[in-house]
Amino acid sequence: MGSSRSLRWHGAAYPAAAPQLPRSGPGCARATIGCPNGLLRRNDGVRQRFRCRRDRGFTLPELLLLIVVLAVGLAGVATGLQQAVRGSGDPLVQKQALAIAEALMEEILLQPFTPVAGGTSRADFNDVSDYDGYSSAGVTTIDGAPVAGLAGYSVSVAVANAALGPVTAVDSKRISVTVTGPGVSYTLDGYKLNYGP
């Protein structure tokens, strides 16, 4: 072998004491060809390990940027899921508010158009106008008994003369039933007409 050992690199001889190995770029890619596992074979059989600069992994700024991007993405996904879960119960609340308004509206429309004496409480209401100004915190039956599970809703009614197409305001009353519940407010309008002679 001799006292002067050299390193073979693509046919060129370099001193073994200070081999000039490529750190990056095309030369680094060529260095890995024919040298598996990043090892170079020297003339005396001793292998020398080298590393390319591009094989060292991510840099600290790259890792920080990756963490920030992932955190923002996960925060957006979490916010979307939270909104979806929060809004999943809204249709049920809206349907319940609509059912309350429809039930009370039906009760009012069954009353006569022409005012009748009396009717100081809901159980005694005997014409449509008696319901004007009626309000209730919590839903109750016509006798005033609270309905279980509907304590979070409130009801208010307004009755006023209003024209409806060719029907004048004298013979038409608009009924507005407003139901307010958890995160929802629903108003149902109806008309009672005077069909009398």
**Integer CA distances (angstroms), 37 to 32, 164, 194, in order:** 8, 89, 97
Tell me: the pLDDT tens digits for 40-66? 445 455 555 555 555 567 888 899 999
Tokens for 47, please give them: 């292998």
Give yes or no for a contact between 52 and 31, defined as CB atoms under 8 angstroms apart. yes
Give yes or no for a contact between 49 and 42, defined as CB atoms under 8 angstroms apart. no
CB-based contacts of 176, cutoff 8 Å, min separation 6: 157, 158, 159, 187, 188, 189
Nearest C-alpha neighbor of 189 from the set 145, 158, 143: 158
Q: What pLDDT band is residue 33 in, cutting at 50, 70 and 90?
A: very low
CA dihedral (43, 46, 51, 52) in degrees, to 10, reads: 10
The pLDDT value given to residue 196: 66
CA–CA distance, 117 with 129 (Å, rounded to integer): 11
Mean pLDDT of 123-132: 93
Name the one residue in this structure whose structure tokens are 């309350």: 100
pTM for the full predicted model: 0.56
The pLDDT value given to residue 30: 44
Supply the mean pLDDT for the chain: 78
Q: What pLDDT band is residue 27 in, cutting at 50, 70 and 90?
A: very low
Out of 57-61, 101-105, 154-158, 187-191, which region has the weakest mean confidence (pLDDT)? Answer: 57-61
